C-alpha cells in the first residue's frame, strides 16, 4: 500500500473496515490534506514501514486505533496540524522516529513533540478519550 493515496488532496473516504494484511504503509496518506476518517479496525501490528504514513494530513484529528510503530516511523505524522489525540503508541521496535510529530502543535497528549520520550521504547496509552 506504499504511496497508495499519496497526494490525493480531496480524498476523505471511510476505510475503517478494510483488512490491510500488508507490511509497507510508507507514505500511504502522504499529502492527503482532507483525510480525516477513523481507522478503528486496522491492525498494523505486522508492518515494517510507517514512515510518512500520514505526513501532511492537515485535517486529521484523531486515530481510533493503537499504533505499533515499525522500525521506520520517521515523519509519520509530520504536518498533521489538526491532530489532537492518538489512542496509543507502542514504540518498542521503532529505531527511526525523526520529526515524527513535527508541526503537530494541536496534539495534547502525549507531549510527543519531545523526541526523547518517543525514542525511549515506551508503550503509551491515552488516559482519556479521543474525540
Q: What is the pTM of this model?
A: 0.81
Residue 125: per-residue pLDDT:
47
Q: pLDDT-derived band of residue 129, with 50, 70 and 90 as boundaries?
A: low
pLDDT of residue 39: 85
Give strand ranges (E) for 54-116.
62-68, 85-90
**What pLDDT is stored for residue 119 in this prediction?**
43
For the residues 8-13, what does the mean pLDDT come to?
95
Helix (H) or strand (E) holding 123: strand 123-125
Distances (CA, A) of 95 to 16, 68, 122: 28, 12, 12
| Domain ranges, ordered by start, for the chain | 1-9+24-32+44-126
DSSP 122: -
Render pLDDT for 103-121 as a digit per residue (tens, 0 to 9).
887 776 554 444 334 544 4
Closest by Cα among 79, 89, 69, 102 to 32 = 79
Amino acid at each position: 500500500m506504499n504511496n497508495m493515496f499519496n497526494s490525493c488532496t480531496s480524498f476523505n473516504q471511510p476505510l475503517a473496515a478494510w483488512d490491510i494484511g500488508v507490511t509497507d504503509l510508507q507514505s500511504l496518506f502522504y499529502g492527503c490534506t482532507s483525510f480525516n476518517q477513523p481507522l478503528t479496525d486496522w491492525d498494523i501490528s505486522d508492518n515494517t514501514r510507517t514512515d510518512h504514513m500520514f505526513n501532511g494530513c492537515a485535517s486529521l484529528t484523531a486515530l481510533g486505533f493503537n499504533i505499533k510503530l515499525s522500525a521506520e516511523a520517521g515523519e509519520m505524522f509530520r504536518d498533521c496540524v489538526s491532530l489532537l489525540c492518538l489512542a496509543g503508541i507502542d514504540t518498542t521496535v521503532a529505531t527511526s522516529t525523526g520529526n515524527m510529530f513535527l508541526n503537530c502543535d494541536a496534539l495534547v497528549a502525549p507531549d510527543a513533540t519531545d523526541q526523547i520520550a518517543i525514542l525511549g521504547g515506551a508503550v503509551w496509552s491515552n488516559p482519556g478519550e479521543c474525540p
